[in-house]
Amino acid sequence: MPLQDVINSLQAALEASVYVSPTEHGLTISEVYEVGKRLGFGEGEIGDALPRVVQQRFGGRNDRLHLDEHYWQFLGNLVFREEPELRNYIAFDFVIGQLNELAKQLGSGRAQLDRAIIVERGVANSVPRHDLEVAITLQTLSGQLIEQDGVVRFAHPQGGEHHLPSAALSHADSSINHKKLRTLAVPHVKDVIARRADNRPKHAEPLDEFGARLQRIGFSNYASWWHQTIAELRRCDPASSPLSALVLSAAIVEGVLTFAAAYARSRNLPDFATNELAGDPKSWTLEKLLKAAAHNNAVLDAQAKNRADGLILTRQRIHAGRLLSSRPKGAPVPDLRPEEAREGKAVAEQVTRCVLDWLGRNPPP
């Protein structure tokens, strides 16, 4: 993917955050990576593009990244029409109109009003709350307004009333700025922002989410091992490297079940408490782990267990001794098919998702 395409998409995602959450806009680095991966970019592409999207500075709370000020100049000034249009012109006018009313009495330089008051007055006048918040934020980002400690005022008092933002529409360029990239980003940005407060996993992809969970269940020192393994799996092309993809998929299944079993043992949970897993973890084979995880459907249901058993069977081709034992002398060994490798990846994700669900039922104290 050309670097400029990645840059444009990440800019669109950060822009979308204002329309999704105007009072808590911006995205953390991890959120940017999450959205970028959902848009189809690799971690390397995102890392290369990010310094060109924003300067390495943070703003707001929780170390969220923001676009540079010049990016917002036209978005906060209604000089170009957009498609889809997410700016409510009535809300823009209402905000400026409230400050204009004060300017009549106190002068433009002293006109200031609490953001909350502007919003509540707008709501009382049937202007949607969200649209009002977007209008204030965009006009602040574009340098028309200043907000400090919740108080909003004109950034450049000019004496007298300021023109209403919608007045610029009569002079706006007839062309329309199509926001296709922003439209693609909005649902993903909306989802990652919602995950900040609704107790859902921070990552939609199970392999990424389990990496984030390792610290919470006491295995933070294995996070780099986990992330390296899933990164290598993602780089594997099932068509050209099906065996590598299968081996790494099986390693992930074994890894996630091993950490789950160790966690269960540290918490004295009944799940995984079988005699086969009573000894040193180095003796916990994948077959034993799967059997324990599927006992009474504690972690894996029958369907997930059967798919994982199929992965084990297909992976056995890495053992020359098993091939010699299982096939008649001189019989050809069939080629490993790309669909079998793709199935292995899917099994790794399904088993990891099952473990995440199990951890949700058995959270750390």
Ranges 10-19, 297-306, 309-318: which has the least confidence: 309-318
Q: Which two tokens stand for residue 269?
A: 């949970």
pLDDT mean over 165-184: 82
pLDDT mean over 189-206: 80
Residue 265 has a CB neighbour count (10 Å cut-off) of 15
Q: What is the pLDDT of residue 58?
A: 41
Q: What is the pLDDT of residue 197?
A: 73
158 confidence band (pLDDT: 50, 70, 90): confident
Ranges 133-142, 254-263, 333-342: which has the least confidence: 333-342
How far the first Cα of the chain sits from its last, in Å, is 44
More confident position, 67 or 174: 67
- Give CA–CA dist 292/299, Å, rounded: 9
* DSSP-derived pairing of the beta strands 112-114 and 151-154: antiparallel
- Give CA–CA dist 291/152, Å, rounded: 62
195 burial (CB, 10 Å; 0-12 / 13-18 / 19+) is middle
Q: Where are the domains of the chain?
A: 3-73+179-194, 87-171, 206-361
User: Is the pLDDT confidence value at 173 over 90?
Assistant: no
Domain 87-171 belongs to what topology?
Arc Repressor Mutant, subunit A (1.10.10)
Maximum distance among all alpha carbons in the chain?
99
Q: Which two tokens stand for residue 289?
A: 């782990």
pLDDT mean over 334-363: 90
pLDDT mean over 150-155: 91
174 confidence band (pLDDT: 50, 70, 90): low
More confident position, 169 or 44: 44
* DSSP E strand boundaries for the chain: 81-83, 112-114, 145-148, 151-154, 176-178
pTM value?
Answer: 0.63
36 confidence band (pLDDT: 50, 70, 90): very high
Helix axes 180-194, 3-20, angle to 10 degrees: 60
User: Is the pLDDT confidence value at 125 over 70?
Assistant: yes
User: Is the pLDDT confidence value at 326 over 80?
Assistant: no
The amino acid occupying position 324 is L
